[in-house]
Amino acid sequence: MDGGIDFALCPGTLPRVEGVLNLSPAEALAYLSRGAILVDLREAYETGFRVFDVEEALYVPWSRFPSSYRALPRDRPLILADAAGIYCREAARLLAGAGYANVAKLSGGMIDWDAEGLPLRKDPSYELSGQCACKLKTRLGKNPLVSNREADASPGAVPPKRN
């Protein structure tokens, strides 16, 4: 199910960059509800405290993206997301170069998604804490939202929701 989404034809409130549609968080959520897939480029340590609470997401850490993006589906619209929108541009270039045609980017990444109050799953016990970046650590030392196996795997399904 892709809801007839063709990002090449979709209007957006934000300008396109290099031909790729930039989506506001609200626009991205609307397309995700119609069958687009979120491709989360954040590293495992960034997904521990909060994850996008969407119907379908694939976790492909940016550090592995150049070697593993070919496993992403070509027949579904993809929305690239990361922490702040930094890596999405290069990821979109790689996908376009490999023939992926139906790709958009989440502008502002998780930061703007969270700021707009859109659906998240959070685990405060995994939130990083510390006085400076060199001393940041988790309270539990593991990722309860995305297991180590899933975080280290190639593209896969959304981790199960915790009740």
The model's pTM is 0.78
Residue ranges per structural domain of the chain: 21-152
94-139 residue pLDDT tens: 999 999 999 999 999 999 999 999 999 987 776 666 655 555 555 5
Quote the CA–CA distance of 160 and 157 in Å, as a whole number: 9
* CATH classification (class only), 21-152: alpha beta
More confident of the two residues 18 and 26:
26
DSSP one-letter string for 12-45: -SS--BTTBEEE-HHHHHHHHHTT-EEEE---HH
Mean pLDDT of 138-163: 49
Quote the CA–CA distance of 136 and 103 in Å, as a whole number: 34
∠ CA 87-44-105 to the nearest 5 degrees?
A: 30
46-61 residue pLDDT tens: 887 889 999 999 999 9
* pLDDT beyond 50 at 157: no
Q: Which two tokens stand for residue 163?
A: 């009740």
Query: Please, what sign has the CA dihedral across residues 125, 132, 153, 59?
Result: positive
- Per-residue confidence (pLDDT) for residue 127, from 0 to 100: 65
- Per-residue confidence (pLDDT) for residue 31, from 0 to 100: 97
